[in-house]
Chain A
Amino acid sequence: RKEVEQDPGPFNVPEGATVAFNCTYSNSASQSFFWYRQDCRKEPKLLMSVYSSGNEDGRFTAQLNRASQYISLLIRDSKLSDSATYLCVVNGDRDDKIIFGKGTRLHILP
């Protein structure tokens, strides 16, 4: 099983719709989880951290399911500007090692 696994997509979603994607991780001892967003030819930017109790920021909701070892990202009322690649990030075996998923591409259609 890969350390961090994401559906590469692309997810083609009409503007205004709700979209959700998951990310599974293999290391049950992982403690830190994040979603990053990367636009084409740009650096990744932190979107939100994922806490055990879940985390909501405006239209974005992130959740952690430790039992099944996955995190999720839900985007409501999607905007054209949400089109990007969303990277799932999990800390690995060592405290300072962060593992990136390969990303899920999202295209919001007008």
Chain B
Amino acid sequence: GAVVSQHPSWVICKSGTSVKIECRSLDFQATTMFWYRQFPKQSLMLMATSNEGSKATYEQGVEKDKFLINHASLTLSTLTVTSAHPEDSSFYICSARDPTPEQFFGPGTRLTVL
């Protein structure tokens, strides 16, 4: 149980385009989903926390207009990187939790912006 999927697993795009990443909890209802970013050889950085049906809470320094998060259902959250630039290239990972404290992570999406 507790499987989280992400799509796509990798994406290459041109600078200035927008990229949408989906995160799904496959066998449980995720009351909360988290989006992280991880640059090479660095630790996970929490970008935002989203609860189903409400606006996401962004961490300090994360632009909410650039990283749009939608958590429309208990099994799906999306992250859209708008007007992506090369410095946005990173490994984006979502995680989901039900009412228990453990988080379960998706396999990640590797974004490369040319």
Residues of A within 8 A of B (CB): 31-32, 34, 41-46, 49, 87, 89, 91, 96-98, 100-103
Q: A43-B108, A100-B44 are in contact. Are A49 and B91 (CB under 8 A)?
A: no
Residues of B within 8 A of A (CB): 32, 34, 43-44, 46, 49, 51, 91, 93, 97, 101-108
Residues of B within 8 A of A41 (CB): 91
Q: How far is the CA of A42 from the CA of B108 in the complex (A)?
A: 7
Distance in angstroms from B47 CB to nearest chain A CB is 12
Of listed B51, B105, B106, residue having the most chain A CB within 10 A? B105
Determine whether the beta carbon of A96 is less than 8 Å from that of B32: yes
Contacting B49 at CB < 8 Å: which of A42, A46, A97, A100? A97
Interface of B, secondary structure class, is strand
Residues of B within 8 A of A31 (CB): 101
Residues of A within 8 A of B105 (CB): 43-45
Distance in angstroms from A10 CB to nearest chain B CB is 12
Distance in angstroms from B21 CB to nearest chain A CB is 13
Contacting B43 at CB < 8 Å: which of A34, A96, A98, A103? A103
Distance in angstroms from B13 CB to nearest chain A CB is 20
Contacting B44 at CB < 8 Å: which of A32, A34, A44, A46? A44
Determine whether the beta carbon of A91 is less than 8 Å from that of B43: no
Determine whether the beta carbon of A98 is less than 8 Å from that of B91: no
B91, closest chain A residue (CB):
A41
B44, closest chain A residue (CB):
A100
Determine whether the beta carbon of A43 is less than 8 Å from that of B93: yes
Determine whether the beta carbon of B43 is less than 8 Å from that of A101: yes
Residues of B within 8 A of A100 (CB): 43-44, 46
Q: A43-B93, A103-B43 are in contact. Are A34 and B49 (CB under 8 A)?
A: no
Q: How far is the CA of A70 from the CA of B91 in the complex (A)?
A: 29
